[in-house]
Chain A
Amino acid sequence: MKVLVAVKRVVDYAVKVRVTPTGVDLNNVKMSMNPFCEIAVEESIRLKEKKLAKEVVAVSIGPKQAQETLRTALAMGADRGIHIETDLRLDQELQPLAVAKLLAKVVEAEKPDVVVLGKQSIDSDAAQTGGFLAGLLNYPQATFASKLDIKDKTATVTRETDAGVETIEASLPLVLTADLRLNQPRYATLPNIMKAKKKPIETKAIADLGVDITPRIQVVNVVDPPTRKAGITVPDVATLVDKLKNEASVI
């Protein structure tokens, strides 16, 4: 069995972003692998460690630096990387539908049994790519996965729902998107980081894949969210209760 895992380079989750009218300022900002993609990589590697998968291929679409993101996936345990190079901004210019169409081309070429993605990227917060990809390929989808079992070409997946969890079953090939609770991603060790430098990364040009990547959604402007007016610190519970009753009138 072969696993394809898609990883995205995004602004690090701990960065407080600065908003400009055309979009978030990406200059000199720390970038990292999207946290949900780390979980996706971890799950892919676990399939290999369980001897269910023979090979894990990591794919990333992005600028030259996306290769660092791929190296991280390789250091965690992926076998090889595919880099689809673009200079478009990944938070607004290269959009999920285009990404899914590009990934579909990779899937057609690589023929993986399971495609693993994160449930959403923390920059555009769209939560769409996995669903698009499954739809384009007409594969079953298991989104927001918190548990995956594969046996005899059938996947049993526990999904996080609004009210709890549900379990679904689907045959492979399958598209899975990882939720937070799927696993705890490992840290890449120094020896593995060194080994990862020798693993192959194949670079592809978008133009060669024959996909229309024209943005469907145009960003008119980007603004800061409304700021809240400064609050006060109350000295004790009695004052708090008084304020809630008489000032805020919420209790």
Chain B
Amino acid sequence: MFQTTLRTLSSRVTSRFASTLVVAEHNGESLTGGTLSAITAASKIGGDVTVLVAGSNSANVAQAAASVQGVKSVLHADAAQFDHSLAEEITSLVVTVQKASNFTHIVAPSSNISKNFLPRVGAALDVSPFTDVLAVVDENTFQRPMYAGNAIATVTSSDAVKLLTVRPTGFDKAATTGGAGAVSAAPAAPVAGLSRFVSEETSSSDRPDLTSARVVVSGGRGMKSGENFALLNTLADKLKGAVGASRAAVDAGFVPNELQVGQTGKVVAPELYIAVGISGAIQHLAGMKDSKTIVAINKDGEAPIFQVADYGLVEDLFNAVPELTEKI
């Protein structure tokens, strides 16, 4: 009893003023892995963690968010204007919620969605966000990469509210059970009505999501054609991994943009990253060099990718990849 009180007291002292809003991303069924990582980052900041779930028919997601470890409460904004994450609408919601509750921190997983709306929230609140936070030093101080991950800056700010996007690969995912948050309705936000969603095209795949896969097999210009990516698909399927690509492979039209790994694409940090026919430009390394084990298969022994690879194989990929698939 006494110990519990003490613990509660000390946790209050270290983060007496912190209260964090996590803006959730979800697919209509469950929270994304990135959101679970953002909840972990929020827990590290200290203080109470509130998750904001927006979108029509998202009651299930709100309930799921409430049971995530570390979540104190869930705000649920059940309205159709939030369905396609238009920056103007999400901003209206986040600003309304912030004005009602005065959070000290607003956190979102790093993604195209958050990079779209969070600066707009920053403009409304006159606050500068921290992009792509890799680590929480204390509630005001964070680490983030610059120059394609070639410099790590420790940064702080005296803004009254801290806005952060957090890099999911920098934080473990919060457990989806063990929490007992209370769900309540978010305050109604005015409809911005500045833009309109028309349509979307997403490539569906049975493979795991690129950013959270345990294994990623990526191809570059050396693949020579989109058809040849079938070799990587087969290898990825055998390893239950995802398929990624370098910018060269995307620009050449071998695979769609959303598979791009790098400074301007997705950042991944799987257990195993297999780079096939990828030279290893600075911009590509920015998206994968935190992988636990890196394998490079390239016939050019001088390719920069070998400088970050744990295991390098100098061989024609068209021989090596089928053989690897067979032997695994």
Contact = CB atoms under 8 A, between A and B. Distances in A.
Interface of A: 11, 13-14, 16-17, 19, 23-24, 36, 91-92, 95-97, 100, 119-120, 122-136, 138-144, 146, 156, 159-170, 179-181, 216-225, 228, 231-234, 236-238, 240-241, 243-244, 248, 250-251
B59 interface: no
Given A237-B324, A240-B311, A131 B194 contact: no
A126 B131 contact: yes
A209 B121 CA distance: 23
A99 B110 CA distance: 22
B131 to A, nearest CB: 5
Nearest to B301: A233
Interface residues of B, number: 86
Contacts of A139: 194
A96 B263 contact: no
Contact of A168 (B124, B197, B202): B197
B125 to A, nearest CB: 9
B84 A166 contact: yes
Interface in B137-163: 141, 145-159
A238 B327 contact: yes
Contacts of A168: 84, 86, 195-198
A129 B120 CA distance: 9
Contacts of B184: none
B143 to A, nearest CB: 9
B311 A243 contact: yes
Contacts of B249: none
B115 interface: yes
A17 B294 contact: no
Contacts of B194: 138-140, 170
B68 to A, nearest CB: 21
B243 interface: no
A16 B285 CA distance: 12
Nearest to B211: A162
Given A180-B264, A218-B157, A169 B310 contact: no
A233 B313 contact: yes
B146 A222 contact: yes
B122 A131 contact: yes
Contacts of B108: none
A167 B199 contact: yes
Nearest to B116: A143
B327 A232 contact: no
A231 B111 contact: no
Given A122-B147, A161-B258, A241 B324 contact: yes
A96 B119 contact: yes
Interface in B216-271: 239, 247, 250-251, 256-258, 263-264, 266, 271
Interface string B293-328: 111000001000010111111110000100110011
Nearest to A126: B131
Contacts of A138: 194
A27 to B, nearest CB: 15
A128 B202 contact: no
Given A165-B201, A217-B155, A228-B310, 8 more contacts: A19-B150, A130-B119, A131-B87, A132-B119, A135-B91, A168-B197, A223-B154, A232-B312
Contact of B149 (A11, A16, A130, A225): A225
10 A-B pairs with the lowest CB-CB distances in the bound complex, closest first? A135-B123, A131-B119, A164-B202, A216-B128, A135-B120, A166-B200, A140-B194, A170-B195, A128-B119, A220-B154
A17 B198 contact: no
8 contacts: A16-B150, A159-B112, A161-B258, A164-B257, A170-B196, A243-B311, A244-B272, A244-B295
Nearest to B25: A162
B171 interface: no
Nearest to A232: B311
B198 A169 contact: yes
A218 B310 contact: no
B103 interface: no
Contact of A251 (B154, B156, B197, B328): B328
